[in-house]
Amino acid sequence: MSKITYHNGPVLTGIQNIYYIWYGNWSSGAATQQILNDFGATIGNTPYLQINNRYTNSAGQPATATVVYGGQVTDSSYAHGASLSDADITAIIGDQINAFRLPQDSQGIYVVFTSADVTATSGFCTSYCGQHNSAVISGGMLRYIFVGHSNRCAASCSPQSVSPNGDAAGDAMTGTLAGELSDTLTDPALTGWYDCDGSDNADKCAWTYGTTFTTANNARANITIGARSYLLPQNFWPTNNGGVCVMNQSQAAAAIAAGLDVLPP
């Protein structure tokens, strides 16, 4: 596995507030929304998210693990249609800020979730299940994440049909959000931490889960946060020798002791 290197850009420090925008028709999506809401409310400062503390900026400050759920809004207007460009995604965020339904928060991360009848033209279902970036929105530079509905392409974006919380879409989209959130913290402007292929830290561990356990409904999971278990992608722990995909610092220490972080010749 290739090394990940720093490209002199920012990482996110301090408290980061995460805001949800549900775009499209979510009238039958209450279970999916609840899983994602619970995740947003409990993920902050977990050992899983603290992996990102390994990534520092040019001043030596670590990427934060302090993520606070800041609230949600629903946009059922389809004002930007059901086939979204990247510009449409940022415009959806701008609509909510301009309508004073969400704050313009320089310490905010805005997440756009789309219903199953909505796609994104830059590669949803073919190149990605979610993506992140920064853009000028309503006059300020803001970070955002897009997570498409996994039911639109379950074969590509759902790791299992029977999921820990009984809603395959909600669980799959939580996994996508987890990876994109880590990537946003360490590479918010796409000028921070990535490898020679352009992969961010969580990208390097996409679709890898490490040691899993079986939940009561016979789904796979690898972490329990709050009252829920999830199957989340591992994150990359960098070392001088290379790095390893893990779920927490303890796993990283064990892998390093075993020499598993050494790059192949």
Strand partners, 69: 18
Q: In 35-85, where do the E strands start and end? A: 67-75, 83-84
Q: What percent of the chain has pLDDT over 70?
A: 99
CB distance 144 to 134 below 8 Å: yes
For residue 111, how far is the Cα from the chain centroid?
Answer: 9
Determine the pLDDT at residue 117.
Answer: 98
Sequence-distant (6+) residues with CB within 8 A of 155 are none
pTM of the model: 0.97
Name the class of domain 10-207.
Answer: alpha beta
Determine the pLDDT at residue 203.
Answer: 97
CA atoms lying within 13 Å on the CB side of residue 219: 22
Integer CA distances (angstroms), 260 to 38, 55, 236, 246, 254, in order: 34, 20, 13, 11, 9
Using 50, 70 and 90 to split pLDDT, how confident is the model at 2? confident
Using 50, 70 and 90 to split pLDDT, how confident is the model at 114? very high
